[in-house]
């Protein structure tokens, strides 16, 4: 009988505190978690930064990307755009977390 595979979530947040909390919450929900501190690191992990990653895309198999919106450097929105522009990764659902209720901003995300 085949065992259901654990979901693999890639969590992106520049805050150490938030990364730790997100990791724990996802672990409790029986997900495998990889937590990175920036959009740039997330793209590296996903093999989208142009450099050959040491693992093939299949090895990484990310089922969901959970990202903070406001981060220094690349915002969560910019990360979302890059992922959706990729033919390989565009199918992965992306959830953006934000404490700000800026409606025009939220509307932008739904276009993806």
**Stretches 12-20, 31-39, 58-66, 80-88: which one binds another protein (CB under 8 A)?**
12-20
In angstroms, give the least distance from the CB of 25 to another protein.
7
Taking the C-alpha atoms of residue 31 and residue 51, their distance in angstroms, rounded to an integer, is 27
- Give the nearer residue to another protein in terms of CB position, either 48 or 71: 71
Q: What angle do CA 26, 27, 30 make, to 5 degrees?
A: 95
In angstroms, give the least distance from the CB of 72 to another protein.
7
Evaluate whether 66 touches 25 at the Cβ level (below 8 Å): no
Q: Considering only residues 3, 4, 28, 103, which one is a binding residue for another protein as defined by CB under 8 A? A: 28
Evaluate whether 39 touches 95 at the Cβ level (below 8 Å): no
Question: Does residue 17 bind another protein (CB under 8 A)?
Answer: yes
- Give the nearer residue to another protein in terms of CB position, either 21 or 88: 21
**108 alpha-carbon distance from chain centroid:** 18
Taking the C-alpha atoms of residue 8 and residue 6, their distance in angstroms, rounded to an integer, is 6
Binding site for another protein (CB under 8 A): 14-18, 20-21, 24-25, 28, 70, 72, 99
């Amino acid at each position: 009988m085949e065992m259901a595979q654990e979901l693999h979530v890639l969590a992106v947040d520049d805050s150490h505190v938030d990364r730790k909390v997100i990791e724990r919450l996802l672990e409790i929900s029986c997900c495998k978690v990889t937590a990175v501190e920036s959009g740039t690191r997330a793209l590296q992990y996903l093999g989208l930064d142009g450099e050959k990653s040491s693992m093939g895309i299949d090895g990484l198999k990310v089922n969901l990307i959970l990202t903070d919106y406001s981060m220094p450097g690349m915002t969560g929105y910019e990360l979302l755009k890059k992922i959706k522009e990729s033919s390989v990764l565009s199918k992965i659902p992306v959830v953006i977390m934000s404490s700000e209720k800026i409606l025009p901003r939220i509307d932008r995300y739904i276009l993806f």
